[in-house]
Chains A and B, each alone.
Chain A
Amino acid sequence: MKIFIQTVTMISVVAAVLLTGCKQSMVISEVDYSQSIESVLQPDENGTVEDIKHGLTFNIKPIQYAETQDTSSVTTKQVRYIRGQEGYYYITAPSYKNVYVMAPEKGKLVLKETLKVSDEGIEKPAFNQRMTHIQLLNRSTGEVWKVNAESIVKEESQMAQGEVN
């Protein structure tokens, strides 16, 4: 009887170990999602932008609504976005006051953060990919901001042109 109990216990342990092993999912770490150069897209009359190069299509209206509280017509003439190292999308447009940090999920982009840039908005914004962060640039004035998924900080002393990292 004792032997029977010991055998059953052993089989159970082995089965438990094997079953646990099968359920484990493979994980690849240290993935760099960063997009070298921002995408500049023109929305169609429905507000849809399509980035063929990066295989991404989405509608700008929810972001436009967040920015202007108006979706009666597509007023955004140009959308600029870049994907950061960690995989978030940083989206803005000319005269927008905010940068929208969006997290990709199955079939959707979910707002992670709204980062306020200025009350007036940037007339000619652009994103640059930098080693440790995303750079937001006001092309009209040369002002730059250091942007990441949680915060945005204006960099007073740095010139956008000379900066690489």
Chain B
Amino acid sequence: MIGLFSSTLYAQEVQSDYEIQQTFKEQYANYEQKVENVSSPDSAESLIESIKQFDQNYSKHKELLNKALYPDTYEEQIENLKKSSIRTLNKVETITEQQKQLNKLENQLASYEQDLSQLDQQTDSLKTAIRQSTESEKELSNMVREYRQSLEKRDELILTFIDSMVVTYQNMDLDAFQEIENYDQRSRIKTNDALKLIHDISEENIKILQRNASNLQLDDYMRMAEVNYQFQTMWNKLGDKIHEVYEGDNADMLAENINSNLNEWNNLLQTNTVKAVKEYFAQQGIEADTFESAEELNGALHSYLDKKIKESKDNRSEENYSDLQKFKDFWDRVEVQWTSNLAHANVLSREQTSELNQKVDEWTQIAQPRSNNILVYLLGGSVLLAVALGVMLIRQKKNSGSA
């Protein structure tokens, strides 16, 4: 029994001081390598536990190891190892979270892509139907309305897509992302087709603006200006990250195309919006000077308002007041809803809107027909006179009674 115990005891080789420090150094280097290579939070956590055990095993040889590790100390080395293992855990947790978000986005993108494709097909077929339509005016008008509604849905979907992109990418740590790729020497982490989808959306938006101008109204363009602005903001903020994460080979080309598409989109939106304002004025009977560009629109609005203010000053007519009402219908929407959109569409800057606003206010103040005010004053004066006469009459009666 004792013999068995002894042989078991010495079956494992006894370590000398030299072997202890050698084994420590080897295991330490091994742990450093593991810390470098760890790629999941679970393995990082078990590594941290393993390092704690490593410390427990060797802390009893601290004095010996201090001599072997001089000028470093055992405690410094173990502390460094523990700190770097915790840093790695944090890093892989961040990366895992990022990957989860990207996977989630991947699913969302698939759904957006499908929905957008359906909507694009729907709008295309509606457009074709409108073009080929021999139906009644009412029927055609319904089709156009439906078409505009499907474009509105598409814009809502794009805004949702933008939200998803912002949530996923804005806190993404690209350095951590790159490092984990280096650890595992994996190919680019499977992510998503975000860049491709952004590219496709930007292409489709241009097509919509190019082909369907005649069926769209100012409301549509103002909504599109908002979407465009959000889309560009998202791209400017996150474009580099989305580009970096994209796994396809043609990332540079797609990013370049997106940039040029956005420029074209801006130009088209500006041109189409100006045209839509022109059509709106024609429909509403707002007789401004003719304009073909954003700059000319601003000039036309100023000259229209100057003319109307002068008219009001010279002769406050019902006709002038009626023109004011028509213009105010338009301008109230500009003030309340569209100031930002017109600025984003490069049609009217905020400063230009503000200058025009002052003229609209001036016109409003002087365009009120004078007769209305006189009637109010006369009525007020009559009431006051009646009250004064009544008081005087009562006093006279009292005086004659007491006498």
CB under 8 Å from chain A, chain B span 1-28: 9-10, 13-19, 21
CB under 8 Å from chain B, chain A span 64-108: 80
B277, CB-defined interface residue at 8 Å: no
CB pair A140–B18 under 8 Å, yes or no, is: no
* Known contacts A140-B10, A142-B9, A128 near B68 by CB under 8 Å: no
- When distances are taken between beta carbons in the complex, the residues of chain A under 8 Å from B19 are 126, 139
Looking at the complex, which one of A36, A141, A160 makes contact with B67 (CB distance below 8 Å)? A36
Expressed in whole angstroms, the Cα–Cα distance for A5 and B19 within the complex equals 75
- When distances are taken between beta carbons in the complex, the residues of chain B under 8 Å from A141 are 10, 14
CB pair A142–B17 under 8 Å, yes or no, is: no
A60, CB-defined interface residue at 8 Å: no
Bits for A118-152, please: 1 = Cβ < 8 Å to B, else 0: 00000010111100000001111110000000000
Closest residue on chain B to residue A161 by CB atoms: B14
A37, CB-defined interface residue at 8 Å: yes
- Measured between C-beta atoms, what is the minimum distance from A40 to chain B in Å? 6
Closest residue on chain B to residue A138 by CB atoms: B14
Looking at the complex, which one of A36, A126, A127 makes contact with B64 (CB distance below 8 Å)? A36
Closest residue on chain A to residue B63 by CB atoms: A164
A50, CB-defined interface residue at 8 Å: no
CB under 8 Å from chain A, chain B span 333-371: none
CB pair B21–A37 under 8 Å, yes or no, is: yes
CB pair B17–A139 under 8 Å, yes or no, is: no
A113, CB-defined interface residue at 8 Å: no
CB pair A126–B16 under 8 Å, yes or no, is: yes
CB pair B64–A142 under 8 Å, yes or no, is: no
Expressed in whole angstroms, the Cα–Cα distance for A17 and B317 within the complex equals 135
Residue total for A at the interface (Cβ-Cβ under 8 A): 19
- When distances are taken between beta carbons in the complex, the residues of chain B under 8 Å from A40 are 18
Looking at the complex, which one of B9, B14, B21, B64 makes contact with A160 (CB distance below 8 Å)? B14
* Known contacts A36-B68, A37-B67, A37-B68, A140 near B13 by CB under 8 Å: yes
Most buried by A among B14, B15, B64: B14
- Measured between C-beta atoms, what is the minimum distance from A42 to chain B in Å? 14
- When distances are taken between beta carbons in the complex, the residues of chain A under 8 Å from B64 are 36-37
* Known contacts A141-B10, A142-B10, A127 near B67 by CB under 8 Å: no
Looking at the complex, which one of B9, B10, B15, B16 makes contact with A127 (CB distance below 8 Å)? B16
Expressed in whole angstroms, the Cα–Cα distance for A160 and B10 within the complex equals 12
- When distances are taken between beta carbons in the complex, the residues of chain B under 8 Å from A137 are 14, 16
- When distances are taken between beta carbons in the complex, the residues of chain A under 8 Å from B67 are 36-37
CB pair B14–A142 under 8 Å, yes or no, is: yes
CB pair B9–A139 under 8 Å, yes or no, is: no
Closest residue on chain A to residue B9 by CB atoms: A142
- When distances are taken between beta carbons in the complex, the residues of chain B under 8 Å from A126 are 16-19
- When distances are taken between beta carbons in the complex, the residues of chain A under 8 Å from B16 are 38, 126-128, 137, 139, 160
CB under 8 Å from chain B, chain A span 38-73: 38, 40
Expressed in whole angstroms, the Cα–Cα distance for A14 and B9 within the complex equals 73
CB pair B68–A139 under 8 Å, yes or no, is: no
Closest residue on chain B to residue A126 by CB atoms: B16
Bits for B67-93, please: 1 = Cβ < 8 Å to A, else 0: 110000000000000000000000000
- When distances are taken between beta carbons in the complex, the residues of chain A under 8 Å from B17 are 36-38, 126, 128-129
- When distances are taken between beta carbons in the complex, the residues of chain B under 8 Å from A37 are 17-18, 21, 64, 67-68
Expressed in whole angstroms, the Cα–Cα distance for A138 and B13 within the complex equals 9
- Measured between C-beta atoms, what is the minimum distance from B72 to chain A in Å? 14
- When distances are taken between beta carbons in the complex, the residues of chain A under 8 Å from B9 are 142
CB pair A139–B13 under 8 Å, yes or no, is: yes
Most buried by A among B18, B19, B68: B18
CB under 8 Å from chain A, chain B span 23-78: 63-64, 67-68
Expressed in whole angstroms, the Cα–Cα distance for A140 and B19 within the complex equals 13
* Known contacts A36-B64, A37-B64, A139 near B14 by CB under 8 Å: yes
Closest residue on chain A to residue B22 by CB atoms: A40
Q: List 17 A-B contacts (CB under 8 A).
A: A36-B17, A36-B64, A37-B17, A37-B18, A37-B21, A38-B18, A40-B18, A126-B16, A126-B18, A126-B19, A139-B14, A139-B15, A141-B14, A142-B10, A160-B16, A161-B15, A164-B63
Given contacts A129-B17, A141-B10, A161-B15, 5 further A-B contacts (CB under 8 A): A36-B67, A37-B68, A128-B17, A137-B14, A160-B14
Counting from the closest, the 7 A-B pairs by CB-CB distance are A126-B16, A36-B67, A142-B14, A128-B17, A38-B18, A139-B14, A139-B13
